[in-house]
Structure formats: structure tokens, C-alpha cells
Amino acid sequence: MINWRIEEEGFDQERISSHGNKFLVGNGYLGIRGTLPEYEKKEFVAVNLAGIYDQVGDGWREPLNAPNGLYTYLRLNNKEYRLPQSEPEQHKVSLDYRHGVYERSTTWNAAEGRLTLLTQRFASMDEKHLICMRYSIKVEDESEQEIDAEIFTGIDAEVWDINGPHYDELNMRTNAEGNTADELIMVTGTTHESGDQVGVYETYRFDPMHQQEIVIEDNKILRRLTFKMKPGKEYQLFKFISVYTSKDHTDYEKLGRELVSASKHTGYQKKLELHSKQWEKLWCNSEVMIDGDDEAMEALNYSLYHLHCIAPRHTDHLSIAARGLSGQTYKGAVFWDTEMFMLDFFLFTEPEVAKTLLKYRIDTLPGAKKKAEYYGYQGAFYAWESQEGGYDACSDYNVTDVFTGRQMRTYFKDKQIHISAAVVYGIMRYVNYTGSLELLADGGAEVILECASFYYDLLVKKVRGDRYELHDVIGPDEYHERVNNNTYTNRMAKYTFDSAIQILRKLVYQDVRIEERLKDRYDLTGLLEQFQDASDRLYIPEPDQKGGVIEQFDGYFALEEVSIEELKGRLLHDKEYWGGAYGIATHTKVIKQADVVTMLNLFSQDYEEEILSKNWEYYEPRTEHGSSLSACMYAILACKCHMPEKAYPFFMKSALSDISGKGKEWAGLIYIGGTHPASSGGAYMTAIEGFAGVHLEQGELKIKPCLPPGWNGMSFPIIYRDELYRVEITKEQSSIHNLGKP
């Protein structure tokens, strides 16, 4: 049994940033960092919005943080009580991650008595534009003496940005001119680059007798609520906040105002119930139960909580950023993380969301074609760090050298060509698991053909010999840049050719709808011939004769052999970048993250188990696991090699990445802190596809359990081809029950 709550006692300034991630609440439209209501931009407060970006000058283009409508602090007899300024006697923050409800409780020894402040808030899962908060205060004291209390509450438009400020204009107002007792306060920010409007609307309910005055200062519009407070009595303020942008609706302002007014009318408690009900619905199709290991069950479901918080359910074409909705790190951009690490969770629990993620890739095909064209290639080269329209936000200089302060040329954008194959992989996986050809008919088929054309154009055709190669690429291990024949990349390119061939065959023999649309634009027979030839001749490095190890790229085996510990000893600075031109790992066999191992996971059926385990054993000690994407790949492959005891620590590392808060926060001098949804998705994949061994056999859902020591069983739902199944695994037996339509 788990209690679905994580909490931390005590106040520590050092934990402000990690708490922001750990206690995040979100609903896919927005994410609110787990910060206190009185916090400001220096405490990394963010109401991070999905899919809307802005660029200022030469700074990185990044997603918007909305003005913070939760902003509230307290004053008693002219003295402020807020963190981090005033030392508390007790402090606790907690998250009910079954229902996405954040709470704080702080006690101060105030001159007036023992002051307790409790706050609770949620980003409504029922109404994606709505945020609600309850703020209660109580002073306990023997005396009957009344206290002069003031609550300052409103919207803080002094927003935390990494590369901002993004609002050129801030319009702060109430909804009736000159009347200080207004119902609503609002802020509209106009973005720098494209003049989008972000509107935040707030109203409140505070029943005790009080006076209200509107104060506008320092980019904040606040209500100053003054009242006489009696010791022993609890005072509750309720806030209703809505966030809309001009991209959501032309009438966004009207919608924003109406939503908060209606929510106030409905009341906080009812809104909380509706919100919680939606969360319960989500868990019906996603909760994973583990018998015998509560710590793992908690960490895993907490990971799933984070995936639920960032699922774009409010639209049918949006993807998820590498750091979810936890802020502007990684430019709020979409990486291969989505298709390769997060997709399966949605595919198995909410296929509609999986489709939304892939629709984003279909919609951004023009951007991918433009990128390919820029480099002089045919087809579609997807953005390494994709924003709106497929714009590649990845900069040429993604890392700052800690010694010189100069920017270092990195080639992630230009050379991580495996991104296009990840998109193909996602679409094909959707097709295989849902059995629906709809995505293909809606543009997915073109995406696959265009990606295959891109790889076809990149093939290096040897003058001697008849094999094709791929040169000058970066594989998942980013420390070794510009290598030839990265096995992962080559194999994924072959997979892309094979998928395109499958599509083309389907076109010819089955799906008339797709064929009709494509045949005017493509020479289908010609493409089929080309892709078949490419697939047959593309070089895929084989396990070496002696040890069965597959070389990660040409020349890898000749690099320096050094242990990770020894390599670490060569660091001159703790934030030094390990890869690129002069990195300490560049000339060694030490790799950043699973590379060959990722390939083996995807294509395990092509190899003997002995080869899988030999490669696991070879590469693991050489892997720094410098990316949170790495551990789960080792965990899954360990399961495939029947080594669940070896898989377990890697699984836990993935599942705990946001609870432990130990993730890497710096790449060179660049802040990369935030939540780790790919790691969460990887933990899910390990549990379901690794420990439970869920897989397809001739189109049928099968399991092949391989539980780690201490686990007595597992039970979880899974959606396959529009039917809901329940998988039950015990030590004695395992079964899959069909429960009908989800």
C-alpha cells in the first residue's frame, strides 16, 4: 500500500529549486512549479505554458511563463510573515500525487502568538485554464487581543525567465475603472516576438469583514485585504485564477473572466472534487500496483503522475517538452524523448494523447522539410529541439566553456539525424498498437516517406564494395560528435526504410485512401525500389567475432580505455562539459548514455540473448549515465537478458529521478534543471515491458514476466487495439483479462 503523498519537512533555501520540480502540479496546458505563494522570480516561480514561445534578441527562444496569479503574502501588525525572509518554527510541503494537490503548512512564533499558514492549490484537470488556491491562517494565543491583519494577494507579473523578459507590455487592471472593490483583477502581457497575448484573470472569496484596496507596483497588481483577526479563529481566502492566451481563442479575455467568475460561484470545494474525479479517471487506466515493494510502487506511480501532469489533453496536436512544464530549461523544446521514452505510457493508457503527440510531428513536417533543405538534403530532417511549426531551437553553440566563458560549437542540431527515425518509430508504434491507419492517412505516411528520403539522400555509397554508410553523425551518446556508422543511427535509418517499404506495400495492395493522395506527389514504385536497395545494403555493424560486442561507431574500439572514476579525476571544474571537441570523454570509450544498448532494446529480436548480455556488460561500466534517459535503457535490456536484479537499480534510478532531485542541473554553464519526463516514461517502460514483459506476438498482446527480487506480483491496466486489459502477475501465474472497451 502507498499513501500517494510525498512530503518534506523543514525549510532549506538550497531546496527551493528542486522543490519547484518535485512538487509541481500541472494539467497539460500549464505547469505550476512547487513554490510557495509568497515566492517571487528569484525563487524560480513559474506558471509554465505549453506550446507558446518567445524570443528576445539573440537569447534562446523559450516557452512562456505566465504572470503568477497565486502570489500572496501576509502581514500581521505591520510585520510580514513569508519565506524565505522570516524563519519558521515548522514548515512542511506535500503533494497528493493521486489528485495533483499541493499543500504547504508553516508555523511561526509570531509576537501575536503561534501563527499557522496552510495553503492548498491545484491546476484543474477538469478545466485546463483554471488554477485554484485555498489560503488559511490562524493565530493561537491565550489573549483575546485583535490583530491587524493584511493579506496581499493578486498577480505577480514580474515573471522568472531564463532569456526574457518576454512581455514587452504589461497591462494590469481591474474590471471596473476607479472602483477599488472590484471583482476581478487581470494582467495581459504582450509577447516580444509575435505580439501574442497572455491573459491572467483572478477573483477571490474572503468571507470575514474586510476592506480591499488595489495596489499596483513593481509589475504586480495586488489586493490589499485588511481585517481584524481574532486569535483562535481560522481565516480562509479562496483564489480562482484563469490563464488564456490569444492563441487559444480570439475571445480569450471574455473566456478568462467568465471562467473565474463561474468558478467562484461553483466554489472551491466543488472545483476540487471535479478536479479529483478527473484524476481518479486517469488512474483507472494507468495505476501500476506492485506487490512486495512499496517504495518502487510509489516511485513509479509518482513518475506517472508527472506524465499525466504534462499530457496535452486540451488540444489534438501538441507534444511534450523534454522538461515537461517545469520551466524554460531545454527551451521548452520537444526532443526524441517523446517518441522513444514517453510515448509508450500514453499508447498503453491513453492512446488519444499518443495520437496528439504524433499529430504534432505530422503538423511540423513542413519545418522538417525546410531543415533538410537548409542542409541541402531531400526529405524531412526533424528538429533536434522542436518548437512551434517544427522550428529547431537548438543553437549552434549549446554549451558554454567553463574556462573561457566562450560558447562551444556543438553539432547536436546538425548531426543527430536519428531524430527523424524516432518520429517514424513513434508513428509505426502507434499504428501497431492501435491497429488504426488513421494517423497514416492523416499525414503519417508522408512523414515516413519523407524521413526515408532524407536518409536515402544521406547515404554514402562506397565506390568499392557495395554497402551504404552514414557518416558524420552524432548518436544518442552526445559526447562523441561527428562519427561514422553509429550503429544506433544506421539501424534506425534501416528501420525507417523498412517502415517506408511497408507503407508503400500497403499503398499498393491495401489502403486506397492513402494511395490516392500520394500517388500524384511521389513516384511510389521508384521509391519502393530505392528504399529496398537502401535497406538491403545499409551497413549495420555486427557483434565482433571475439567478444560479441557491437562497436558503437567506426573507431570506437581504438579509443582510450579509462574508468569513469579515473576520468572524473581529470576534471578541472565540476561543471566542465565532457564531450565536444576538447571534452575529457571525447578521446575515450566513456559514453554519456545508452547507445548500442538502446539499439539492442529496440531490435532485441534480431540478436541472441548472449549478444544482448555481452553488450550490456561491456557498455555499462563505460557509460556515465550523464543523461536521465540512460538508466531505463539498461534496465529494460537487463530484463531482456533475464537479469532483473541488475535491472532493478537502474529502474529505481529512473523512477526516482524527480523525487530524489539529484538530476544534473548544469551542462557547462547552462542550467538544465527541471522534471525528467523521459526518465519517468522509461521507468514505466521498464515496469511494463521489462519486468512484466508486455510485448506483441503476431499481433497479440503477450506477457513474459521477469520480476525483480522482492516483487511478489504486479497488476496494471493496458489498452491495446481499443480494448482495455488487466494484466495480473503473481509468482505462481500470470494472466491478461480483456475488460472490453476502455
Instruction: List residues binding ligand BGC (CB under 6 A).
Output: 322, 330, 335-337, 476, 478, 592-593, 627, 629, 678
Who's near 356: CB < 8 A, 6+ residues apart? 312, 313, 315, 316, 317, 318, 319
Q: Please identify, using beta-carbon distances, which residue of 165 and 476 lies nearer to ligand BGC.
A: 476
Minimum distance, C-beta of residue 579 to ligand BGC, in the bound complex (Å): 9
For residue 655, give the C-alpha cell. Answer: 523512477
Q: Please identify, using beta-carbon distances, which residue of 138 and 592 lies nearer to ligand BGC.
A: 592
**CB contact at 8 A, 245 and 29:** no
Q: Please identify, using beta-carbon distances, which residue of 104 and 331 lies nearer to ligand BGC.
A: 331
Minimum distance, C-beta of residue 384 to ligand BGC, in the bound complex (Å): 8
Q: Please identify, using beta-carbon distances, which residue of 442 and 620 lies nearer to ligand BGC.
A: 620
For residue 151, give the C-alpha cell. Answer: 493579506
* Eight-state DSSP code of residue 394: -
Active site residue 478: yes
DSSP H/E element including 260: helix 252-266
Q: How far apart are CA 153 and CA 216, in angstroms?
A: 11
For 735, the 3-state DSSP assignment is: strand
Q: How far apart are CA 692 and CA 703, in angstroms?
A: 6
Minimum distance, C-beta of residue 639 to ligand BGC, in the bound complex (Å): 21
* Eight-state DSSP code of residue 137: E
Q: How far apart are CA 676 and CA 457, in angstroms?
A: 34
Q: Please identify, using beta-carbon distances, which residue of 313 and 418 lies nearer to ligand BGC.
A: 418
Phi/psi at 7 (5° precision): -145, 160
Minimum distance, C-beta of residue 606 to ligand BGC, in the bound complex (Å): 23
Minimum distance, C-beta of residue 630 to ligand BGC, in the bound complex (Å): 8
Minimum distance, C-beta of residue 335 to ligand BGC, in the bound complex (Å): 4
* Catalytic entry in 103, 202, 446, 478: 478
Minimum distance, C-beta of residue 323 to ligand BGC, in the bound complex (Å): 7
Going by C-alpha positions, the residue among 525, 533, 495 that lies closest to residue 508 is 525
Cβ-in-10-Å burial (0-12, 13-18, 19+) of 477 comes to buried
Minimum distance, C-beta of residue 646 to ligand BGC, in the bound complex (Å): 23
Q: How far apart are CA 417 and CA 400, in angstroms?
A: 23
Q: How far apart are CA 44 and CA 33, in angstroms?
A: 8
**CB contact at 8 A, 101 and 90:** no
Q: How far apart are CA 238 and CA 78, in angstroms?
A: 23
Cα dihedral value 648, 650, 655, 656, nearest 10: 110
Instruction: Please count the other Cβ atoms lying within 10 Å of the Cβ belonging to residue 244.
Output: 24
Q: How far apart are CA 190 and CA 175, in angstroms?
A: 19
Q: How far apart are CA 338 and CA 354, in angstroms?
A: 10
Which residue numbers are catalytic? 478
